[in-house]
Amino acid sequence: MRSLLVVFVFGVCAFGQKYNVGKAASADEIKATDQFMAPDGTGLPAGKGTAADGRDIYSRRCARCHGAQGQGDEEGPLVGGKGSLKTAKPLKTVGSFWPYATTIYDYVHRAMPFDNPGLLDANQTYSVVALILHMNGIIGEKDEMNAQTLPKVKMPNRDGFVKDNRPDTGKKKK
């Protein structure tokens, strides 16, 4: 409530604003639009689910495109590829490549199923996220995913990313 009041007062007085264009965003407006979920768990909603809970919704809403076992079908796979990143045919999947488990929630919530994004509620989303993690052998079938447990899941390729250290080319002149 206090932060709401502060926002309100600032909005009206336009304190610190040079042009006074745009209006103060209300807490409700922000809540309705902000659906970002950060790797530390910020933004993850209340709710929970296990891989076992996720089977039904996955088979009805995801399997058509990603395969019954996540092996891929009309669209790319969600499992597999472990040990392939150094080979001539790398397979980048949630299991072999993704550094953060929170990204799966963030992405499924915002963009999947492809033709009906936003269809799943929080429990259903935690459940399919748990199932994808389980299909990749990262968590057990009965491990509950929620706002506390999901950010703690250590992804296999968590340490597989490096900073941009270019230019690594462009010095030589032949």
Partner 1 sequence: MPKNERRRFLQLSGIVALAGCSQQPGAKTDEEKLPSALGKPIRAYGERSQFETAKRAVPDLKRPQIGSTRTPLAETEGIITPSSLHFERHHAGVPDLDPAKHTLLLHGLVERPLVFTVADLKRLPSASHIYFVECAGNSGGEWKAPGGPNVAASFGLASCSEWTGVPLKILLEEAGLRPAGKWLVAEGADACKMSRSLPIEKALEDCLVAYAQNGEAIRPEQGYPLRLVVPGYEGNVNVKWLRQIKIVDQPNQTKDETSKYTDLLADGTARQFTFVMDAKSVITYPSGGQKLAGPGFQEIRGLAWSGRGVIEKVEVSTDGGKTWTKAALQEPRLPKAFTRFRLPWKWDGTETEITARAVDSAGYTQPSREELTEARGANSQYHYNGVKMWKIGADGSVKNA
**What whole-number distance in Å separates Cα of residue 153 and Cα of residue 126?**
13
**What whole-number distance in Å separates Cα of residue 17 and Cα of residue 11?**
9
Q: Does 93 participate in binding ligand HEC (rule CB under 6 A)?
A: yes
Q: Which stretch binds ligand HEC (CB under 6 A): 11-19, 38-46, 110-118, 143-151?
A: 110-118
- Does residue 58 come out as left (phi exceeding 0), alpha (psi in the -120 to 50 range) or beta? alpha
Q: Which stretch binds partner 1 (CB under 8 A): 48-56, 108-116, 126-134, 139-147?
A: 108-116
Q: Which long-range contacts (CB under 8 A, 24 or more apart) does 69-77 make?
A: 69/135, 70/132, 70/135, 70/136, 75/114
Site string for partner 1, 24-53 (x = CB under 8 A): xx---xx--xxxxxxxx-------------
**What whole-number distance in Å separates Cα of residue 83 and Cα of residue 131?**
21
Taking the complex as a whole, the smallest distance from the CB of residue 153 to partner 1 amounts, in Å, to 13
Answer with the entry of partner 1, ligand HEC, none that 40 interacts with (C-beta below 5 to 8 A by kind): partner 1
Beta-carbon neighbour count of residue 157 at 10 Å?
18
Site for ligand HEC in 135-174 (CB under 6 A): none
Site string for ligand HEC, 40-79 (x = CB under 6 A): ---------------------xx-xxx-------xxx-x-
Please identify which residue in 100, 131, 135, 153 interacts with partner 1, judged by CB under 8 A.
Answer: 100
